[in-house]
Amino acid sequence: MKSIPYGRQHITQADIDAVTAVLKADYLTTGPKVTEFEEKFAKYIGSKYAVAVSNGTTALHLCTMVLGVNQDSKVITTPITFAASANCVRYCGGEVAFADIVPNTALLDIDKVRTLLEAAPKDTYQGIIPVDFAGYPVNMEAFRNLADEYGLWIIEDACHAPGGSFTDSKGIVQNCGNGNYADLAIFSFHPVKHIACGEGGMITTNDKALYERLQILKTHGITRRQDLMQENHGGWYYEMVDLGHNYRIPDILCALGISQLDKADAGIKRRRAIAKKYDTAFAGLGMANFQPADGINHAYHLYVIAVKNRKELYDALRTEGIYAQIHYIPVHTLPYYQQLGHQKGDYPKAEKYYENCISLPMYPSLTDEEQDFVIKQVLKNGQS
């Protein structure tokens, strides 16, 4: 049997045809496919606006920029995430504070966040970056209420969760990243994500002012908008009105993203079927796999279990050609963040999670035969 990764892209002939069409057209970089992708993605998620950028990390950086993070800012996030969720604050000179997780979801613990806020002088913190980890949606309504109480903004890191949702207190299904509770949300189009562009990212929001500034910041801070320019020398003229970056995404990748978006619902359906089969196989074995609560529609970017012999299982699976992965090393334990004063032992639930977690193969093109083989090897080598 061929090797089985923890995640991979699913590229069809329709995807190839979409990219080929752009290669034969007039625009390779910023052109009509960028706007089309933004509009279609916003419709899919349910937000008013979307801004396509070069990757998920640049999306996070732009969000912290537009929200005014600076050397006087202090922002709260989770230690169980990819480092970019914290790094974006550091890019702007801000300080990162972590709060521990809820063990049965691995999501940022809102009670721990409240404890941080209550213990600090007013205006100590500027914002919160919750993460829809593994595709399990954060209750953004609860975080919005807390943020409003303390005058904070929210960036929802929804890289794992396009297609995921939770049900709010009014019984309304809220899609991850739809902007109804977070000021901004971000997504990634890395090959292992639901929508694969090779690289790419998206920012969603319902705030027109933030949207318009993001569009400028992602292109060097340059604009051709008449209402923002001080002068106009002719059709060639532009002005730099802010210090931005080249965080643009090309038409080639947006064409792939649009094609991928067409089968996003089918991909979510397949991911949930794979998760259900894993659930059945591991039921009653004590391998915590973060079962979604009522009203939660899990997006299943990852399928995580907890085992006592994680290293042994990881190695045994690799011997059989199964390339499971670990998500994630707690950010506060990484050397860079330890140099900033964070220490091992600060967030015991996150560290306990890390000791036992392992992500099994989860992607739409995973075959039943491949999944059966994965299950067999986990049951053979894992210790609950």
DSSP-derived letter for residue 166 is E
Q: Which of 31, 45, 54, 51 is nearest to 255 (CA)?
A: 31
Half-sphere exposure of 317 (CA within 13 A, CB side): 28
Q: Can you give the pLDDT at residue 1?
A: 65
**pLDDT tens string 152-169:** 999 999 999 999 999 999
How far apart, in whole angstroms, are the C-alpha atoms of residue 90 and residue 69?
9
DSSP-derived letter for residue 347 is S
Domain extent listing, the chain: 4-261, 264-381
Q: Which CATH architecture has domain 264-381?
A: Alpha-Beta Complex (3.90)
Residues forming a β-bridge with 357 = 306
Q: Can you give the pLDDT at residue 28?
A: 83
Q: What is the phi/psi pair of residue 223, to 5°?
A: -140, 155
Q: Can you give the pLDDT at residue 287?
A: 78
Q: Can you give the pLDDT at residue 288?
A: 67
Exposure string (b/e) for 58-81, b if CB count within 10 Å is 16 or more?
bbbbbbbbbbebeeebbbbbbbbb
Exposure string (b/e) for 128-137, b if CB count within 10 Å is 16 or more?
bbbbbbbbbb
Q: In what order do the strands lie in the sheet with 49-53?
A: 49-53, 201-205, 184-188, 153-157, 127-129, 74-77, 95-98
Strands 127-129 and 153-157: parallel
Burial class (CB in 10 A: 0-12, 13-18, 19+), 13: exposed
Regions of the chain where pLDDT drops below 50: none
- In this structure, the number of other CB atoms found within 10 A of the CB of residue 179 comes to 26
**pLDDT tens string 21-73:** 999 998 888 889 999 999 999 999 999 999 999 999 999 999 999 999 999 99
Q: Which CATH architecture has domain 4-261?
A: 3-Layer(aba) Sandwich (3.40)
Q: Can you give the pLDDT at residue 290?
A: 83
